[in-house]
Amino acid sequence: MLGRYRKLARIEAPGTLDGGDVLPMDRTLYVGTSSRSNRAAIEQLAILAMPLGYRVEPVKVHGCLHLKSAVTQVATDRLLINPRYVDRDAFAGVHFIEVDETEPSGANAVRIGSDVIYSASNPRTADALRSLGIRVHTVETSETEKAEGGVTCCSLLFPEAPLEKAHHPSAADRSEPRT
């Protein structure tokens, strides 16, 4: 279905890549090496992304499920981070906001423009974000958190392409599925 809107590429075995391990920031894709994403996939992604003007930076993740459990972007030049799960040195030239130490899952946020969608389970970190002028919208995510999921796990965001550059489905793409 997504192929109707964007050209798709695939990571081939033995590569494995989880979307929760990919953090885009400007023209850099930070990719976590975790239990769900491996070096083979990161190398393939680097080859696929290079012609599009992106560079790929591997980031070691430890103690959590994937990269976005440890760090997410909450403003143009700011990352929300749990430094127990990822080394801040992997992100050169970036400002950090650390999660409250009592909220270890608090680094998982979704930035949409200048707003942030954020779990209601992390009120101290949410207050810290607000104190920095970040507009935070909290949502209840306790069920996804039981499996170490967060708001990024429930989101698929991509910018709308200008009409003249958008992929227009062919008649075959638009036909209704047969039942």
Buried b (16+ CB within 10 A) or exposed e, 67-92: bbbbbbbbbeebbbbbeebbeeebbe
Q: Is residue 19 part of a domain?
A: yes
Q: Is residue 174 part of a domain?
A: no
Q: Reply yes or no: is the peptide bond before residue 58 cis, omega within 30 of 0.
A: no
Torsion of Cα atoms, 66 then 72 then 30 then 160, to 10°:
110
Arithmetic mean of pLDDT, 104-133: 95
CA dist list (Å): 125 to 20, 97, 168:
20, 9, 42
Q: Report the pLDDT value the prediction gives residue 163, as an integer from 0 to 100.
A: 40
Q: Is residue 168 part of a domain?
A: no
Inform me whether the pLDDT recorded for 104 exceeds 80.
Answer: yes
Q: Which two structure tokens, joined as six digits, stand for 14? A: 């033995």
Number of neighbouring beta carbons within 10 Å of residue 15: 16
Which residue has better confidence, 108 or 147? 108
Q: What is the mean pLDDT of the chain?
A: 86
Buried b (16+ CB within 10 A) or exposed e, 148-164: ebbbbbeeeeeeeeeee
Q: Is residue 106 part of a domain?
A: yes
The tens digit of pLDDT for each residue in 9-64 reads 999 999 999 999 999 999 999 999 999 999 999 999 999 999 999 999 999 999 99
Q: Report the pLDDT value the prediction gives residue 156, as an integer from 0 to 100.
A: 62
Q: Is residue 171 part of a domain?
A: no
Residue found under tokens 């979704």 = 110
Strand arrangement, sheet containing 115-119: 109-112, 115-119, 135-139
Arithmetic mean of pLDDT, 81-91: 96
Q: Is residue 83 part of a domain?
A: yes
pTM over 0.85: no
Inform me whether the pLDDT recorded for 96 exceeds 90.
Answer: yes
Burial class (CB in 10 A: 0-12, 13-18, 19+), 46: middle
Q: Is residue 25 part of a domain?
A: yes
Catalytic residue numbers, as ranges: 66, 153
Inform me whether the pLDDT recorded for 171 exceeds 60.
Answer: no
Which CATH number characterizes residue 107's domain? 3.75.10.10
Q: Is residue 177 part of a domain?
A: no
Range of the domain at 71: 2-156
Instruction: Please state the domain count of the chain.
Output: 1
